[in-house]
Amino acid sequence: FKTIFVSDFFKRTANSEEKTQNVLITLASSFGAAIVSGIIALFIPGGIANAISSFALVFLLAFPTFSLLVHKTPYYYSQEEALGEKSVLLGEKAIYDYCGIDVVTFDDTEVFGKEDINLQRIMLYGNSDNLSKALRQMSSLFMNVGGPLDILFSDSLDRKAPPAESTYIEPDGISGEIDGHKILAGPIDFMRRKGIRIPVDEHGVPMSSSESTRVMYAAEDGEIYAKFYIRYSFSEDFSMLLPVLDDEGITPLVYTRDPNITQELLRSLTAGNDKIRILKCLDSQADVTLYRSVSAGLVTNGDKNNAVNAIIITKKYSRFQSRLGVTSLIATAVGGVLAIVLSLGSMMTVPT
């Protein structure tokens, strides 16, 4: 969500997620072991001084000091890391709320930037030899659709074309009306499904696409008049983010209305790594709502990468806390046993 104000700041930061019961259990265990060892030391080797010394030594070594700091100190440094991502985590509870995220959504323009889609070739058919008309119609059609193709065709024109009317978005193609003509755009399967004859090349077969290049046909009033070869590649930011998301077990989900962006295309761009999912949006492009106020535990003033990195920080913090909890119990057990052996064996005493 985009907002001008984030509410519930004090409500979120006032709640502590520190597991006080774990500290109390460790404290009680250490105190119990110290009492038992002190009673034993009262008789073996004997004397009140040995009993008090044994009690103090066992309690000091059996209760690890860092048990008091395993939440506050890592939380402080996690906030420092988040600030480096132009983000903030409102309260420790927010960290645990967001550490379970395993899907992050992206708009197709965040995955395929302006410089990452190229119009490599255009073929015109029949009596259609007006290249500017073909580009203008595609620009009008995709104006209501948005996405990388809207940017691609808009940039290919000297001036902006008016949007198409009655735009209808399907998972594998787009249709609309321009100047009273029915215009369709999509891959070969979409055109065949609409009953439109596909032109063939000089060898008598339709020209196909390559791994990263998609072929999109344009039809006017039921007849193919143009074919576009469009090359796709991931943006640099998304390419750098992909291995990080994979390591953290996060699945990227791409929202798109582009008929050329398919699961097959994404697999080819990731060398067969089928870790990216697609959600086809069948409504027209809508403006992003700016909310007056939103209650959220994770806030960023940066871009999508900053937000994703902030989520990764919560995952690292959660894993670190789990390891510290186990380490605290191990330190209590090892320290307690060591202290009992040292005190009862008269190998170490606490000065009076």
| Rounded alpha-carbon distances, angstroms, from residue 32 to 5, 21, 27, 84, 303 | 51, 16, 9, 44, 53
Query: What is the spatial distance between Cα 320 and Cα 93, in angstroms, rounded to a whole number?
Result: 15
Instruction: Tell me what pLDDT residue 204 has.
Output: 45
User: What's the length of the chain?
Assistant: 352
pTM to 2 decimals? 0.79
Find, among 89, 91, 99, 82, the residue nearest to 18 by Cα.
91
Residues of the chain with pLDDT under 70: 127-129, 201-210, 344-352
Instruction: Tell me what pLDDT residue 201 has.
Output: 63
222: left (phi over 0), alpha (psi -120 to 50) or beta: left
Amino acid at 232: Y
CB atoms within 10 A of CB 219: 24
The span from the first CA to the last CA of the chain, in angstroms, equals 63
Do 141 and 155 form a contact (C-beta atoms < 8 A)? no
Instruction: Tell me what pLDDT residue 263 has.
Output: 92
Question: In sequence order, what are the residues at sequence separation of 6 or more whose Cβ sits closer than 8 angstroms to the Cβ of residue 16?
Answer: 71, 92
Assigned token pair, 79: 């906030």
pLDDT > 70: percent of the chain: 93
Assigned token pair, 293: 């106020």
| Rounded alpha-carbon distances, angstroms, from residue 13 to 10, 16, 71, 94 | 5, 7, 14, 9
Task: Reduce the DSSP state of residue 60 to 3 states and report it.
Answer: helix
Instruction: Tell me what pLDDT residue 351 has.
Output: 55
